[in-house]
Amino acid sequence: MHLRKIPEGAAADIPEENFVFGEGKVQGAKLGKSGGNLLVKGAKRFKLYAEGTDLVKIISGTGHFKWKGGETDFSPGDCFEAEAVGEYEVNGSEKFLVVRK
């Protein structure tokens, strides 16, 4: 169980046009889905849950992750692996990608 920074590029880039966005907002953000992957736009705080492994790429915005094990900062371009962390929050990112494994 961990949330750790991984090398940039370790999270796959999925083109934005591959995502389907719903009409409304989820947790105040526009949420796009492509298979099990997510593209989150415009969230100040977004809660996620990982029993397996999430690879998270910060596309824009600076902020921090918060989870039971602590907090860690991020900047645009940073990639992280969240493995079996349970509930975690992305705070401050204007746009980020979640690749679910």
Beta strands in the chain (DSSP E): 2-6, 20-21, 30-34, 37-41, 45-50, 53-60, 63-67, 70-74, 79-83, 86-91, 95-100
Two structure tokens written together for 46:
């977004």
pLDDT in tens, the chain (101 residues): 799 999 987 777 899 999 999 999 999 999 999 999 999 999 989 999 999 999 999 999 999 999 998 999 999 999 999 999 999 999 999 999 999 98
Residue 51 amino acid letter: E
**Predicted structure pTM score:** 0.94
Domain boundaries of the chain, sorted by first residue: 2-10+26-100
**Which residues share a beta bridge with 47?**
89
Whether the Cβ atoms of residue 78 and residue 6 lie closer than 8 Å to each other: no
What is the architecture of the domain spanning 2-10+26-100? Sandwich (2.60)
Residue 74 amino acid letter: F
